[in-house]
Structure formats: structure tokens, C-alpha cells
Amino acid sequence: MDYTEKWRAERERKAFLALADGTVFHGVAFGAPKDMLGEVVFNTGMAGYQEILTDPSYAGQFVTLTAPEIGNYGVNPEDIESRGLFLSGLVIHELNEPSNYRSAMSLDAYLKQAGKPGIYGVDTRALTIHLREHGNQRAYLHVEDNDRITELPNDRMGGLEAWAVEQARNWEGLDGQDYAATVTCEEAYEFKSKDIQSIGDSPIRQFAHSPIPHVVCYDFGVKTNILRSLAKFARVTVVPAKTPAEEVFAMNPDGVFLSNGPADPAAVTYAQGNIKKILGKVPIFGICLGHQLLSIACGAKTGRLKFGHHGCNHPVKNLKTGAVEITSQNHNFAVLPDSVPDCLEVTHVNLNDGSIEGVRHKTLPAFSVQYHPESCPGPHDSEYLFEEFKKLIHLSFHP
């Protein structure tokens, strides 16, 4: 049976995505036969679906991929960015069988193995336009086998789809929710990358006679390539999101990294308190959720964007150099411009909507950006930020 015939045969396993505003999108189920609740977002990246799937920042979300052909290169263990899949499900237009020599399994099999549902055959262009116009939506994804439908209250509110809409409306959503605690590691560990046999001659020489710096990374949903980027010049210890600042100080860090992560930064209150204690003691570099948490710790506030920034093609202007970076992003919340305290200066802005993309403390060694400089997936325009962090740590060695 060729793939077209397989697709037609699977039309019997119908699926739909019911939004809280009453809109319903139909398609075909794949992946795990499991209904889920979540928030629908769209990602404008043209490639890198495996890295997107394994980004913990998507916890609690249905990711809609705007690229029409998905699954072509399958899934392989080298491109996994975390220990698992934390998203609620995947929404795509066309599902393809893999035809790449690096593929270890199909996207369908990968989602089944991870226990995550997917839906294909969806008009993802129409869904994306709907989200741009009306904002991200809470949703209920129905993909379970048809014999399960008879167990649900089909007559309630006019049928199964209306019932699913009601479930979406009643879901608590992501606002005010601490999802970082659900995706973080369970205990501290030292990162060892098989791609980096040693920390490397060039970075070490730049530290002259100083010891190799030690960076402690707060895991709010960290990706593997972030750790690889840090490990190019430092020894890296990863700690759980709720690790007290006192325990971090006991590790004698030369720098602290605040990772990316999911959901609402205002709900991660324990991290804000720890960052306040660390500020001024050692250099700090934060990205994504870490950027928001650093800003809040300094006195700023955050709020929800209409449909967030998700993709690897977002233009950001560096206000110091005037250069425009094409960046990889994944966030629904942002630092509110009117709330930025005097101790912070804005360093980067988004050229699409003018939102804040970076800040730096005016007197203390701390800075952050809203995007993902590790570039996995995405362009490498922002890799220089890791070099800036290294230089900031170097200054702490030689004040």
C-alpha cells in the first residue's frame, strides 16, 4: 500500500481540533490515540520540527506548523533537544513518510512512542490566520478511536464537537500556571556532551591562566544545544528550577544561566526570589523565560502577547550595533515596555511588533534576551551572546 492509499484508508480515523471560541478544524489522527487539552500556537519555521517537538517551552501547547510538508526527514536521536516531548500535540497540513538516510523512525511512530497525539489534513493556513486575528486559543484535540466516541455525551450542547468546545472553554489555560516545575530536571547533574570531547583549546586560551569557569544553569525547560553552547567554554552544572540560591552559591559558580521554559513567568515566583539573591554576586545570562524572570526580579512586569512569537525567522534589532538578527523564538509572554525599571536598559527590540527582546542591567553583570541564541533550529546570528557571557565571566576572573 503506497502512502496515498494509506492516507485514504486512515480517513476513517477522523479527528478535530475544537477551539474555545467555537471554531472547529477537521483532519485525520496520527500519533498516539489520545485526546488532549492545550493552547494552540503556530510556528513559522520551515524546518526543524523535531527540535520544535522536543522544546520543553511548548509544554501545554498544540503546535501548528505553518510549513505544509512535515515528516519528510523522519526523526533521529541526534536532533532531540530534551529528554522527552512536553507539548500537548501537533497540528500539521500534510504528513509524509520519511525519505532521509538519517531517519530512525517516522514522525507518526515517534509521537506514538512519546504518547503524544497529532492531527494532519488540517487547513493550517486558515488556522494560523484565525489565531493571528483572534489570538492564541485554548482547545480540545479529539483523535481517539471512533469506538470511544459512543462513550461521550453526543447529545450534550449539540454533539461531540460542541462538548469539546465546552471542555476547551473550561480548561484553566496557561495564564498564572507554573509549567517550569513540570519540565525541569529532578536533580542536579553535570552536563557531558558527546559532541564536545573537551572544552576546547581556543576558548581556554582566551582565559589565560584562569581556571575553566563553572556555569550553573537553572533548568526551567533547557534545551540540549544551549548546554552544548555553554560547554564550549565552561564546565556546566544543571540544577532544578526550584534550587535555592544558597545551594547554587555552594557550588562556587563563576556564572549563572537562566534557561528557556514554558507558560507564565509571573507564576514562577520562587525563581524570581532566587535571582534577586544572585544578582550582583556572579554574572547572569538569561534567555526566553529566563529573560522574563530576570526582568521581573529587577522590577519589571510581563504580559501576554496576542499570539506570541514562535519560529526561527523573527527579526530583532540590536540597539547598540544597529544590526538586525534573524532569531529563533518561542514565547507567549513578554516584558511590558512601560514597566522597565531605571536599573535596566533595553538592548534589543522586535522589528515586527516593537516588543522588548533584550535587556541589560546598568550596574550589575546581568543581561538577557527574549529569543533562543542556541539556534536549534534556527539561524546562528545570535551565537555571539554566549561569547558576551564568556567575556562577562572573564571580567569576574580579572576585575
pLDDT tens figures, 16-69:
999 999 999 999 999 999 999 999 999 999 989 999 999 999 999 999 999 999
> Quick one: cell of 207?
582565559
Nearest residue to 376 via CA among 244, 169, 234, 223: 223
For 299, list phi and psi in degrees, rounded to 5. Answer: 115, 0
Residues in the chain: 399
Rounded Cα gap, residues 12 and 207, in angstroms:
63
Question: 93 in helix, strand or coil?
Answer: coil
Rounded Cα gap, residues 204 and 214, in angstroms:
12
Rounded Cα gap, residues 316 and 338, in angstroms:
19
Question: 37 in helix, strand or coil?
Answer: strand
Mean per-residue pLDDT, 247-256: 97
> Quick one: cell of 27?
483532519
Nearest residue to 104 via CA among 80, 134, 137, 129: 80
**pLDDT band, residue 125 (cuts 50/70/90):** very high
Q: How far is CA 245 from the centre of its chain?
A: 24
Instruction: Give the pLDDT confidence score for residue 206 in this predicted structure.
Output: 39
Nearest residue to 326 via CA among 281, 379, 259: 379
**pLDDT band, residue 395 (cuts 50/70/90):** confident
Question: 329 in helix, strand or coil?
Answer: strand
286-301 per-position pLDDT tens digit: 999 999 999 999 999 9
Where are the alpha helices (H) located in 47-123, listed in sequence order?
49-53, 107-114
For 294, list phi and psi in degrees, rounded to 5. Answer: -65, -45
Pairing of strands 214-219, 255-258: parallel
Q: Is the pLDDT of residue 249 over 90?
A: yes
**pLDDT band, residue 203 (cuts 50/70/90):** very low
| Residues with catalytic function | 288, 372, 374
- Kindly report whether the global pTM for this prediction surpasses the value 0.75: yes
Question: 154 in helix, strand or coil?
Answer: coil
- Per-residue DSSP letter, 75: B
The set of residues, in sequence order, having a beta carbon less than 8 Å from that of 199 and lying 6+ positions away, is 212, 231, 232, 233, 234, 235
For 96, list phi and psi in degrees, rounded to 5. Answer: -115, 150
The set of residues, in sequence order, having a beta carbon less than 8 Å from that of 103 and lying 6+ positions away, is 73, 74, 75, 76
Rounded Cα gap, residues 294 and 24, in angstroms:
39
Domains and CATH numbers, the chain: 3-170 (3.50.30.20), 180-397 (3.40.50.880)
Nearest residue to 223 via CA among 378, 39, 38: 378
Rounded Cα gap, residues 378 and 166, in angstroms:
37
Give, for 252, the enclosing helix (H) or strand (E). Answer: none
